[in-house]
Amino acid sequence: MTKIEEFVKEQADIHGRERNSLMPILQAVVQSERFLSEDAMVAIATELDLSTADVFGTASFYTFLDTVPRGKNIIRVCKTITCHMKGKDAIISTLEDMLKVKLGETTSDGKFSLLQANCLGWCHKGPVMLVNDEIYPEITPEKAVEVVQEYLKKTK
């Protein structure tokens, strides 16, 4: 058994092997591995007796369930209307300049991925930025740079 197969089996022991156990297991894998690799999805399909296309179909529906490798820190800028009107584009272009990546990409040192997210429910304090599980409301380009610099210091 590979490491990921063992991990998936453990998670299935916790969450069950029903079709509705799929979501918590997908989330657990993403939590631990930061993305769903092909091997991980095959392991989940095997453990739950589902087709891999079904597992991929579910995973690809959710923005937060990545199926491609991501950096150690994931920055998500809210892209929906309110944040858009409040200037999320400026945040993104500033971060693109700072990190030397385009939206959707990961830095060459693997420390950051710069992504967008659908509405995060903070419209009253837009624009918002999410780094990993931490929310940063009423962000400005300057504040965004400061926040990312903090993470840079913390990340080995």
Partner 1 sequence: MSKYKVNLKINNIAVSVDEGTTILEAARKLNFNVPTLCNHDDLCVAGNCRVCVVEQKGARLLPASCATPVSEGMEIMTNSMKVRQARKHIVELLLAEHNADCTKCFKNGHCELQEISNEYRIGDHVFIDLVKEKDKVQDISSPSIAKDDSKCIRCQRCVRTCAQLQHVSALAVTHKGNEMRISTFLDKPMNDVVCTNCGQCINRCPTAALTERTYIDQVFDVIYDPNKFVVVQTAPATRVAIGEEFGLEPGTRVTGKMVAALRRLGFDKVLDTDFTADLTIIEEGNELLRRLKEALVDGKDVALPMMTSCSPGWIKFQEHLYPEFLDNLSTCKSPQQMFGPLAKTYYAEKVNKNPADMIVVSIMPCTAKKFEADRPEMRGSGYKDVDFVLTTRELGMMIRQAGIDFNKLDNEGYDSILGESTGAAVIFGTTGGVMEAALRSAYEIVTGREVPFSNLNIKPVRGMEGVKEAAIKIKDVLPEWKFLEGVELRVAIAHGLANAKILMDRVKDGTANFHFIEIMACPSGCIGGGGQPIPTNMEIRKKRAAGIYDEDEHMTLRKSHDNPEVTEIYKSFLHEPLGHRSHDLLHTHYYPRKRH
Q: How many residues bind partner 1 (CB under 8 A)?
A: 16
Among the candidate windows 48-56, 89-97, 100-108, 139-147, which touches partner 1 by CB under 8 A?
A: 48-56
Lay out the site mask for partner 1 across 55-94 (x = CB under 8 A, - = otherwise).
xxx--xx-----x---------------------------
In the set 38, 109, 138, 150, which binds partner 1 (CB under 8 A)?
Answer: 38
45 vs 91 by CB, closer to partner 1:
45
Among the candidate windows 25-33, 37-45, 80-88, 135-143, which touches partner 1 by CB under 8 A?
A: 37-45
Among the candidate windows 51-59, 103-111, 119-127, 135-143, which touches partner 1 by CB under 8 A?
A: 51-59
For helices 22-33 and 52-61, what crossing angle results, to 10°? 70
Strand order of the β-sheet with 134-136 is 112-117, 73-78, 129-131, 134-136
Could you tell me which of 72, 71, 26 has the C-alpha nearest to residue 45? 26
Question: What is the helix (H) or strand (E) element at residue 136, kind and residue range?
Answer: strand 134-136
Buried b (16+ CB within 10 A) or exposed e, 110-130: ebbbbbbbeebebbeebbbbb
Residue 59 contacts by C-beta under 8 Å, 6 or more apart in sequence? 26, 36, 41, 65, 67
In the set 12, 26, 29, 45, which binds partner 1 (CB under 8 A)?
Answer: 45
Residue 108 contacts by C-beta under 8 Å, 6 or more apart in sequence? 100
45 vs 130 by CB, closer to partner 1:
45
In the set 5, 9, 46, 143, which binds partner 1 (CB under 8 A)?
Answer: 46
Question: Contact positions toward partner 1, by CB under 8 A?
Answer: 38, 41-42, 45-46, 50-57, 60-61, 67
